[in-house]
Amino acid sequence: MILRGATILTLDPDSRVERADLRIAPEGRIDALLPPGRTGHAGEAEIDLAGRIIMPGLVQTHIHLCQTLMRGLAERRTLAVWLHERIWPLEAAHDASSLRASARLGLLELATGGTTAILDMGTTRNIEAVLEASAESGLRVCTGTALMDEGAGTPPSLLRNTLEALEETRRLIPALREGRVSLCLAPRFIPSVSEEGWRAVASLAREADLLIHTHACETSEENAFVREKTGSTPFAYLEKVGAASARLRAAHGVWICDEDRAVIRRTGSAVIHCPGSNAKLGSGTADVLRLWEDRVPVGIGCDGAACNNRLDVWEEMRRAAAAISLLHGPRAVEPERILAMATRAGAELLGLGARIGSIAAGREADLVVLDPSIGGGLWSAGTDVHARVLYGAGREHVEQVWVQGEMIVKRGRHRSLSTARVLREASEAARRLEQRAEATWQSLSN
């Protein structure tokens, strides 16, 4: 297969822009970037992409597929109220059917918007439903059961013994060692997991070489609670229980103090930037530039549809750029670095940095093809292609999405997930989910 005639944003460490033809080998790897127009091999299929832009597939490193059906149901609330009044009762009301419908809807939205790989946090039960939907989507999905074994105000049915949940994960690991779907460990955050649970998480992560996906330093109120509960700052506590390491992926990082900065540097932990969620919930703004200055690995994520509300990383990248500009001035924004945060850096956070995240011979063909002519070509002028894509591209420009050399989205439509069916099932599942959560909502209001 040869993709001909496009402008290629490699998003490699040199941020090269190539006018080249891209050859994909049968096993799904990029065989070569060729001078435009070179004659192909006999029997080689070709796709004419003249005028298009090809870039690496987008990688979102913090998503909650279980919350896709909750879009619009938890508005005008700060984080703690948002969780206790709406999100946790809704997650407790999930059954396998509604969770599968929620995951399918989220994965469809992600794929058609150009995302090719995600790091997801599930809810506390029925992880098999998320795994099933993930396999159907064709995306690279790393997901895990949300671990919650304590916490005032948490619905009892959402709580689960962490050691029991980890045993379930251990049983699932052998079947998911190959392929595009994999497991992580997902302790929700420090207030929701006992010290025994955290230590067990750290132990299994080391034993099975799994990522630890959690939340940390999202709000100042959370930080104060952690200090009261543990006597430590969040990352100092995570280091104490063995969880802070090069495997740790901590979403948000808005309220990182100097002590925690030192822990993050020392342990090699990574932070995931969620500017849309942080702004909407009034949590604050993470200082990504300062994290970069400390050489902290930083990914980007939309968080869940209940607090964003779109799973659109194009918007998220622009929010990230705007946040840097507000904190440090517009000269501090490097478009190619923002794009790399959503591609190459995200791949590294998923442990896939040697395979995807940039375009080069030998890497797997996870690609997004953009058509700049859509919408009147309003972002087709200018010489800085990285800036044009960062500030002008959107999901409406996504023409094709490739994962491991397989085209999974063509002209905006997923090739295996039926949009009509996914939407129909999601609508019915959302209605039933709200009905099941209604009793909890009413008890909280009385």
The 10s digit of each residue's pLDDT in 114-173 is 999 999 999 999 999 999 999 999 999 999 999 999 999 999 999 999 999 999 999 999
Tell me how far apart the alpha carbons of residues 85 and 75 are, in angstroms, rounded to a whole number.
Answer: 11
Residue 136 pLDDT: 97
**One domain, residues 341 and 381:** no
Report the CATH number at residue 390. 2.30.40.10
CATH number at residue 104: 3.20.20.140
User: At which of 299, 314, 349 does a domain end?
Assistant: 349
CA distance 197 to 121: 17
The verdict on residue 9 lying in a domain is: yes
**Residues 267 and 248 grouped into a single domain:** yes
Whether 197 and 303 share a structural domain = yes
Write down the mean pLDDT value for the chain.
95
From the number of C-beta atoms within 10 Å of its C-beta (0-12, 13-18, 19+), residue 244 rates as buried
359 located within any domain: no
pTM of the predicted protein model: 0.97
pLDDT digits (tens, 9 = 90+) for 384-400: 999 999 999 999 999 99
Average pLDDT, integer, range 36-47: 79
**Which residues span the domain enclosing 15?**
2-55+368-412
Indicate whether 118 and 40 sit together in one domain.
no
What is the model's pLDDT at position 177? 85
Closest CA to 271 of 288, 289, 293: 288
Upstream peptide bond of 309 is cis (omega within 30 degrees of 0): yes
Are residue 97 and residue 182 in the same domain, yes or no?
A: yes
* pLDDT category of residue 179 using cuts at 50, 70 and 90: very high
Q: Are residues 133 and 118 in the same domain?
A: yes
Give the Cα separation of 296 and 253 in Å (integer).
11
Q: What percent of the chain has pLDDT over 70?
A: 97
- Is the pLDDT reported for residue 376 higher than 70? no
Cα–Cα distance for residue pair 233/176, rounded to 1 Å: 35
Q: Which of 308, 286, 309 is nearest to 296 (CA)?
A: 286
The dihedral formed by the CA atoms of 84, 88, 92 and 98, expressed in degrees to the nearest 10: 140
Whose tokens are 């894509």? That residue is 389
- Same structural domain for residues 116 and 265? yes
Residue 380's pLDDT is what? 60
**Do 338 and 376 lie in a common domain?**
no
Count: domains in the chain: 2
155 in the same domain as 94: yes
For residues 265 and 261, give the distance between their C-alpha atoms in angstroms, rounded to a whole number.
6
Mean pLDDT, residues 183-187 taken together: 98
Query: Which single residue is written with the structure tokens 């430590």?
Result: 232
Q: What is the pLDDT of residue 362?
A: 97
Amino acid code (one letter) for 151: G
Altogether, the residues listed in the chain come to a count of: 446
Query: Based on the domain organization, do 44 and 89 belong to the same domain?
Result: no
Question: What confidence tier does 42 reach under pLDDT thresholds 50, 70, 90?
Answer: low
| 390 and 286 co-located in one domain | no
11 and 65 co-located in one domain: no
